[in-house]
Structure 1
Amino acid sequence: MLPFFPFVFPVALGNSFYIWAAWRWQRYGLPAFCGGALGKAAILYGSFYLLFACIAFPPAVRHMLLFAMSWPQIVTGVIGAVIGREVSRFAASRPE
């Protein structure tokens, strides 16, 4: 998904925000992860939108990538957080 080197920076920024939000607001539980996923999607969509304003891409590729950086990021971020919490809870409950 990242064959073009400038794509790495927006993805790294979005993922960094998601991790920071999860760490910073972890005491709030799932709403913090939802907010982190929403912020990640906003950063990714905005960054790619600005990147496409500076670099010419075929319209079909641009639309496909902007779609991939929008609401699917929120869905996968929340699903990942739920799975991660359950795995963590399961691991914490197991005796050593």
Structure 2
Amino acid sequence: MARHINQPCAGDLVRRAAHGRETIALTDHRHMAALHVSPQVMEDLEDVLAITDYQRRKPEGTLEPGIPTAEARRRLGLEQAVTGEIIFDRAP
């Protein structure tokens, strides 16, 4: 939920949005001009949107074919894990 804040400096607003999962509304004469939204909140919203889209499209029969696990792992650069763990192939 956006909160009304009286003129703190921009750096403080950015830190609060980035670290506090807080959405901050910037206003001009009480009219919303912009929002500072934390990356975590945006990721959560994108996840909800993707799940909602999947749930809507599944009963409609409009889902596209999935990608086989082996192909997805190849595209993501993941090694085959013996125990079922996901192991990332990262350069040191």
TM-score (norm 2): 0.32
Higher strand share: 2
Higher helix share: 1
**Higher RCO structure (Cα 8 Å, ≥6 apart):** 1
Which of these two proteins has the greater Rg computed from alpha carbons?
Answer: 2
TM-score (norm 1): 0.31
